[in-house]
Structure 1
């Protein structure tokens, strides 16, 4: 489902003056610190969009930690599914609409959909297009893909994001404006990224840093093995 994951708007930071907060640090230095702190965080909640390779964007709202424990939701074309990764197993539960959309290219999908709709489906570990959603470092990898993109951004004003003071860093390129909001209290985590001026405005938020992620194990009677069903 999801391949070549990239987080919209994250690869942009840089430049600036020495105004408070982060006095003495240029904007690109602040951005570097923010990327490092976010990647090093034990856990976080990410809400925004990731990109499918050659496909449409996938909206996600997922809490994930460094051990790949995760829980949340994914939405594709308006069809939503719950996801969990617990005890080294990835589970996904979608309704009939979700599975008809996801399995439309698979032979025998018409017979398979009723067997998986509304169930917690065990997804094969090698299907990293889906299980990659619970890889925290994979989700955030776009922030370090092209460090040259983290140049030329200027410090803006401060605002409050979910109760935390944040410094805005701005960059405009090709008519598209990206704003990165960095926590100015505690560790310099990324709190929000917005992109405007493109095909459509986009926002990615980051919260619940350090909060324990403890998804429940689905009950045996509520789970099905997708690999086994597809082989039947």
Structure 2
């Protein structure tokens, strides 16, 4: 059973709030909100690479940001940054291997102890070791949607014409969503905004099908995570 938080976090922060698989025909004025999302979903699902960036703001002002560049399969890079102190966790995933680099602020906040040196080491571990609450990103994205879509006003995002689509869902009683789908060129999903009493999240999509450069860190900078605590 879906929980409200699972729906919001999984669908907004990790970025999949689209629908079905059938492509529409005709202009955006002729199609329903559902048809526009269907077409965007099909387009996004066919991508070979994309960059997804999100900023989340909680009621007390706490924030975190994410940036993920992925082939939507098994190769991706990500960075998550929390709060004013700049605690950050970088990740490179290549097939079955994760390379993870927490910065000094992250380690200090996690351990409650100050460090007396810089932290530039990457830690290597099998993807199978990643836990659901580890803060690590999956490279895959499931572009699906829920709720009821309603067509909004035409707009423009970074010079691209788009249509706003309002989406509400009975299982999420704390807020609502707005999807922005390109209406010129390819019908990409450009942005998703969630506004609620629990938090606000803005997710943007860019670099569609741009060449993806994902490579392992230099061996001299890598430590096998299995060696920790020995």
TM-score, normalised relative to structure 2: 0.73
Q: Specify the alignment match of 2:104 in structure 1.
A: 96
Q: Specify the alignment match of 1:17 in structure 2.
A: none
- Tell me the C-alpha RMSD between the 2 structures: 3.3
Going from structure 1 to structure 2, the CA distance change for 1:57 and 1:88 (only over 3 Å counts) comes to farther
**Of 58, 76, 79, which residue of structure 2 is paired with 1:73?**
79
The Cα of 1:227 is off from its aligned counterpart by 1.8
Going from structure 1 to structure 2, the CA distance change for 1:220 and 1:114 (only over 3 Å counts) comes to farther
Q: Specify the alignment match of 2:33 in structure 1.
A: 27
Conservation of the 8 A alpha-carbon contact between 2:96 and 2:128: no
Going from structure 1 to structure 2, the CA distance change for 1:134 and 1:176 (only over 3 Å counts) comes to closer
Q: Specify the alignment match of 1:61 in structure 2.
A: 67
The higher relative CO (CA closer than 8 Å, separation ≥ 6) is in 1
Q: Unpaired segments of 5 or more residues in structure 1?
A: 15-19, 51-55
Conservation of the 8 A alpha-carbon contact between 2:99 and 2:216: no
- Whether 2:210 is the aligned partner of 1:202: answer no
Q: Specify the alignment match of 1:136 in structure 2.
A: 140
The Cα of 1:124 is off from its aligned counterpart by 2.4
The Cα of 1:194 is off from its aligned counterpart by 0.6
Conservation of the 8 A alpha-carbon contact between 1:90 and 1:131: no
Going from structure 1 to structure 2, the CA distance change for 1:224 and 1:157 (only over 3 Å counts) comes to same
Alpha-carbon distance in structure 1 between the residues aligned to 2:140 and 2:95: 16
Cα-to-partner distance string for 1:54-90 (whole Å, 9 max, x where unaligned): xx99631111113422223112454113222246432
The Cα of 1:115 is off from its aligned counterpart by 10
TM-score, normalised relative to structure 1: 0.72
My pick for the range that moved more, 128-137 or 79-88, is 128-137
Alpha-carbon distance in structure 1 between the residues aligned to 2:157 and 2:205: 10
Cα-to-partner distance string for 1:213-232 (whole Å, 9 max, x where unaligned): 112431111111112214x1
- Whether 2:53 is the aligned partner of 1:47: answer yes
Is the helix fraction higher in 1 or 2?
Answer: 1
Alpha-carbon distance in structure 2 between the residues aligned to 1:132 and 1:36: 26
Going from structure 1 to structure 2, the CA distance change for 1:223 and 1:11 (only over 3 Å counts) comes to same
Alpha-carbon distance in structure 2 between the residues aligned to 1:95 and 1:132: 14
Q: Specify the alignment match of 2:162 in structure 1.
A: 166
Alpha-carbon distance in structure 2 between the residues aligned to 1:76 and 1:29: 37
Three-state SS of the structure 2 residue aligned to 1:6 is helix
